[in-house]
């Protein structure tokens, strides 16, 4: 299908859930991996962001992952996955077997540094093995997700704190904080997981959240709430606004372990502190909570730095995307962005984006 003047018809950036979902449907629609489309993935291994998660995180009701399209044909299903193993190892293994089964020829580690306009085509630059490479292509599917773009809010005194500060994407083990006075910041499942893990390791533990945590009395995510949260993401994406949090719109399923911790007074979030001192955090009433470490479980933002040359960002902070297509450049498609940025929407969007990519290529 390759036309003159380009190296490949499409480049998919990222091989997490969103990128592999698009790849599955591109192949089903007749495009050959490695020839008609190429997949570049920054990770050293398979699994997308899951390969970087901490060892204590297991697959469960608070951390669920949907099967990729066509996974059943490969003899794989997360429903029967080993929940005693670290989630990162399970997902890494399943994604590796999935990629091998469909022969996607994912190129990794390949870190995309820029995507720029090159006349009728698009130039994708990336680094692999210490060498700079480039691909000229007709379309780009950006499926980079958010893991590489952690968000840490600014509070007065944050840069003066004498202790340890780290974000979710740097957290490895509760043992790293043994005997320390720890502040956990955030109201999502990651923050809750850290609090539960740190209970028996930290010398003292304080959990703070900017808004009240909405625990829901269900073992799994409320589908109606999830659909509404995805709708809010879609509205924001179409308007080019910064994207709202999925968790803030769906709540957190209350597991038995969580309820036990709530009953013990461990899993009770305090209101957010107002500033940070050298030795701890200071609350609105002037109280200083001394701390040796602050863990920022404050979420992520879409990773879009490599797309800066295309000038897709709006002044309001987001990128205007409708049905997975960038309004300012219809050659750029977004998978895992806005309404697709969760297991609720990612797989469904893969088929739609793949069809649009093929349609765009047919018009060239």
Q: Is the peptide bond before 109 cis (omega within 30 degrees of 0)?
A: yes
* β-bridge pairing 332-334 and 164-167: unpaired
Distances in Å between the alpha carbon of 32 and those of 24, 46, 62, 107? Answer: 10, 20, 37, 15
Q: What is the pLDDT of residue 302?
A: 85
Report the pLDDT value the prediction gives residue 249, as an integer from 0 to 100. Answer: 46
Note the pLDDT of residue 231.
56
Q: What's the pLDDT score for residue 58?
A: 86
H-helix or E-strand containing 207?
Answer: strand 204-209
Instruction: Please report how many Cα atoms fall inside a 13 Å half-sphere around the Cα of residue 230, on the Cβ side.
Output: 19
Torsion over CA of 74, 7, 119 and 113, rounded to 10 degrees? 70
How confident is the prediction along the chain (364 residues), in pLDDT tens digits per residue? 545 579 999 999 999 999 999 999 999 999 999 999 999 999 999 999 999 988 888 887 555 688 999 999 999 999 888 888 999 999 999 999 999 999 999 999 999 999 999 999 999 999 999 999 999 999 999 999 888 889 999 999 999 999 999 999 999 999 999 999 999 999 988 999 999 999 999 999 999 999 888 888 765 444 444 445 555 555 555 565 555 555 454 567 788 889 999 999 999 999 999 999 999 999 999 999 999 999 999 988 889 999 999 999 888 778 888 888 999 999 999 997 755 555 555 667 899 999 999 999 998 7
Q: What pTM was computed for the model?
A: 0.85
What is d(CA 116, CA 122) in angstroms, rounded to the nearest whole number? 6
Per the CB < 8 A criterion, the answer to whether 237 and 180 are in contact is no
| Alpha-carbon separation of residue 156 from 11, 44, 193, 270, 281 (angstroms) | 42, 37, 27, 19, 10
Predicted confidence at residue 60, as pLDDT, reads 72
Return the closest-CA partner of residue 242 out of 311, 315, 143, 340: 315
Residue 242: predicted pLDDT: 58
- Domains, in order of start, for the chain: 8-148+300-362 (3.50.50.60), 158-217+259-296 (3.50.50.60)
């Amino acid at each position: 299908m390759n036309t003159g003047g380009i190296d490949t018809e499409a480049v998919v950036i990222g091989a997490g859930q969103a990128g592999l979902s698009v790849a599955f449907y591109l192949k089903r629609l007749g495009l050959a991996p490695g020839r008609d489309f190429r997949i570049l993935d920054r990770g050293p291994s398979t699994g997308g962001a899951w390969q970087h998660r901490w060892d204590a995180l297991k697959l469960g009701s608070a951390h669920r992952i949907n099967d990729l399209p066509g996974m059943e044909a490969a003899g794989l299903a997360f429903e029967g996955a080993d929940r005693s193993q670290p989630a990162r190892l399970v997902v890494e293994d399943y994604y590796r077997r999935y990629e091998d089964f469909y022969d996607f020829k994912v190129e990794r580690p390949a870190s995309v540094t820029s995507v720029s306009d090159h006349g009728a085509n698009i130039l994708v630059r990336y680094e692999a093995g210490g060498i700079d490479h480039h691909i000229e292509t007709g379309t780009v599917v950006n499926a980079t997700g958010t893991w590489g773009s952690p968000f840490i809010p600014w509070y007065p005194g944050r840069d003066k704190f004498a202790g340890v500060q780290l974000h979710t994407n740097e957290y490895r083990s509760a043992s790293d904080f043994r005997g320390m006075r720890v502040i956990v910041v955030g109201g999502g499942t990651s923050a809750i997981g850290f609090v539960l893990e740190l209970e028996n390791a930290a010398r003292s533990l304080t959990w703070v959240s900017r808004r009240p945590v909405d625990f829901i009395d269900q073992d799994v995510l409320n589908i109606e709430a999830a659909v509404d949260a995805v709708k809010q993401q879609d509205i924001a994406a179409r308007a080019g606004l910064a994207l709202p949090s999925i968790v803030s719109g769906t709540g957190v399923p209350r597991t038995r372990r969580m309820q036990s911790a709530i009953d013990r007074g461990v899993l009770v979030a305090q209101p957010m502190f107002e500033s940070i001192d050298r030795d701890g955090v200071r609350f609105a009433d002037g109280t200083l909570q001394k701390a040796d470490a602050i863990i920022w479980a404050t979420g992520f933002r879409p990773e879009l730095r490599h797309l800066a040359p295309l000038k897709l960002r709006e002044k309001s902070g987001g990128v205007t995307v409708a049905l997975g297509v960038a309004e300012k450049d219809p050659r750029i498609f977004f998978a895992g962005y806005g309404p697709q940025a969760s297991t609720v929407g990612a797989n469904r969007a893969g088929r739609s984006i793949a069809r649009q990519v093929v349609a765009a290529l047919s018009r060239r």
